[in-house]
Structure 1
Amino acid sequence: MLPQPQQLKELSQALVRLNQPVVWSLRTDYHIHLSEELMSLAQFDLEASVATDKRLLVVSWVPQKMVLSHESIGLFVSHCGWNSTVEALSEGKPIVCWSQFGDQLVNAELVERNKAGVIIRDAHLSSGRVVLEDEILQMIEMAQTKGNGALTVKEKLRLAWKTGGSSSSSFQSLTQLIDSYQ
């Protein structure tokens, strides 16, 4: 399913009102649904100019892990697929969870339960609900207060992944189990 044109307009207006630097990964064929104000404020080509005064960057693809690792990134609005969720949390970034289907809903609950973000509820593509710009801004503001929770999860992940940590040990046990069947 594709995002509703009205939803893209609401989101683009919220980003204009946010008055903060934003990187938005959005396929080019959706740009026709963006608000005129955002279109005038945004840069759409990374190659156009390194030095720009535009605070909105709208591109069809970004190296997400690299962007999330940058110290100037303070928040992530995400559908909460597993990779996106782990990438954001491993960098200690709070998340506005805008889940659409499948595991995304469970992942969003994990984020919220750990006080690392907030969920926009009942806003998946098949619901037909358009989230208005005021609600989007409210959720962004609420998520910005979840930095400590996101940093706590980052530290827990770091400990689990290091040698001897629970994730590392579990992975070793799994590989040993697989090897034992050969």
Structure 2
Amino acid sequence: MNAPDSSQRMIAVGRLHGAFGVRGEVKLESFTEPEKAIARYQPWTLRDARGNQQVCEGVKVREGGKGLVATLPGVDDRDAADALRGVDVWVPRSALPPPPPGEYYWVDLEGLRVVNADGADFGRVSHIFNNGANDVLVAQGERERMIPFVLPTYIVSVDFDAGVVTVDWDADF
């Protein structure tokens, strides 16, 4: 395993949850849709809570009884697999296919300017999260605004060329 290329924008696509069996397999939580698509996006950069990371290529993923199971090169026993508990799986943004029309990777929206139809500048997209009911865009400017990511009700348009997300949102709200 070698050092990752830090010049590429990285996206978290999964998390390892410790050993599965005794042969070095690990339980894998996938953030991709469909879940098993995570296997297509390689190489993986494994990053622990302290920020230590290593690149891993040639990972094999299969469906287990209660979720996905991964086999990582060089991880050959239960102890080595269990040592990966809580490690996040990251891939370069360039490894992902283009999203379908009208859908977006959250990471692609981060940093875009947010304005409303009247031209009020709300700042930039800080991040997006899911509150259980829907996704929420967080615009950070002179203050923080949380705008439901509902197309076209609140998110009117996304223009990557101009770097702008236009929203239907009152500047005083």
- State the TM-score, normalizing by the size of structure 1: 0.26
More strand by share: 2
More helix by share: 1
